């Protein structure tokens, strides 16, 4: 049974990695998917993969930190599909180094994409969902919002902000039938991870995960499908860890 048949979803940063996995899982569940990213070539690939699953897809190039781009993303979605039922705020970047080495520009870039981008997309989409008296938003946070993982203070701070934004926005819009939740992924095998870890580091990391493997984008996609589906109709304001148990243990002895 297709739990999301006919619903319209926007996924940001969906040209690769977790966003692409989320888009494919939503499509398999029957949703039509709007694919946003910075690069047209990547968008076109995900659009073709989604269309192969016999739902409709639309690609919209745009930067989630730019309000005019977010406005265009919303307008093109409404023009094409007439409604927005699901928003997945996935676009994100990370800079790995000790805090004292971060430049002000790097702090701004990380906070702009990871937190301001979520704010802008929610702010533009929520009024449409309120009009429809229905909608579900999932924000992709990280276990780094709750635990030290690797040196990336601005990233961890941005993701803690996403958890707080999720909780407070959920409270504000609950009475309009709109639900807002977050997912806190653990280590997921994506191009972002490949740029941060060597193959040897990845292997060592995988061995240290209680469930014995790195996560795949579809692990996050399936959790998104659940949170936006009617099966989760009484869940709002929550942040769900999808981490293979990475964050369950403090000492690795």
The stretch among 38-46, 79-87, 95-103, 198-206 that binds ligand NAP (CB under 6 A) is 38-46
* Minimum separation from the CB atom of position 200 to ligand NAP (A): 17
The stretch among 25-33, 37-45, 120-128, 233-241 that binds ligand NAP (CB under 6 A) is 37-45
Query: Does residue 46 belong to the site contacting ligand NAP (CB under 6 A)?
Result: no
- Whether residue 155 lies in the annotated active site: yes
Alpha-carbon distance of 94 to 97, in angstroms, equals 10
The helix-helix angle for 67-81 and 117-132 (nearest 10°) equals 30
Q: Are 166 and 180 in contact (CB under 8 A)?
A: yes
The phi-psi region of residue 130 (left if phi > 0; otherwise alpha if psi is between -120 and 50; otherwise beta) is alpha
**Half-sphere exposure of residue 226, counting CA atoms within 13 Å on the CB side?**
12
Give the residue with the Cβ less far from ligand NAP, 176 or 205: 205
Binding mask 8-27 for ligand NAP (x = CB under 6 A): ----xx-xxxxx--------
The footprint of ligand NAP on residues 134-163 (CB under 6 A) is 140, 142
2 φ, ψ (degrees, to nearest 5): -90, 105
For 58, which DSSP code?
E
Q: Footprint of ligand NAP on this chain (CB under 6 A)?
A: 12-13, 15-19, 36-39, 42, 63-65, 90-94, 113, 117, 140, 142, 185, 187-188, 190-193
């Amino acid at each position: 049974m297709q739990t999301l048949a006919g619903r319209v979803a926007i996924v940001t940063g969906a040209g690769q990695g977790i966003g692409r996995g989320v888009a494919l899982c939503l499509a398999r569940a029957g949703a039509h998917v709007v694919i946003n990213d910075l690069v047209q070539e990547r968008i076109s690939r995900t659009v073709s993969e989604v269309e192969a699953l016999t739902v409709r897809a639309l690609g919209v190039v745009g930067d989630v930190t730019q309000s005019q781009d977010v406005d265009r993303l919303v307008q093109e979605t409404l023009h094409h599909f007439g409604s927005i039922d699901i928003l997945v705020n996935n676009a994100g970047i990370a800079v790995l180094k000790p805090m004292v080495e971060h430049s002000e520009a790097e702090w701004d870039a990380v906070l702009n994409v990871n937190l301001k981008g979520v704010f802008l997309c929610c702010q533009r989409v929520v009024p449409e969902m309120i009009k429809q008296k229905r909608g579900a938003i999932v924000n992709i946070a990280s276990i780094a919002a709750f635990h030290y993982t690797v040196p990336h203070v601005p990233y961890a701070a941005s993701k803690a902000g996403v958890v707080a934004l999720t909780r407070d926005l959920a409270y504000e819009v609950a009475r309009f039938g709109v639900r807002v939740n977050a997912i806190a992924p653990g280590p997921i095998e994506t191009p972002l991870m490949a740029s941060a870890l060597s193959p040897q580091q990845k292997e060592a990391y995988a061995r240290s995960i209680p469930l014995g493997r790195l996560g795949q984008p579809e692990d996050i996609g399936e959790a998104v499908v659940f949170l936006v589906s009617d099966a989760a109709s009484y869940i709002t304001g929550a942040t769900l860890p999808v981490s293979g148990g990475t964050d369950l243990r403090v000492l690795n002895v």
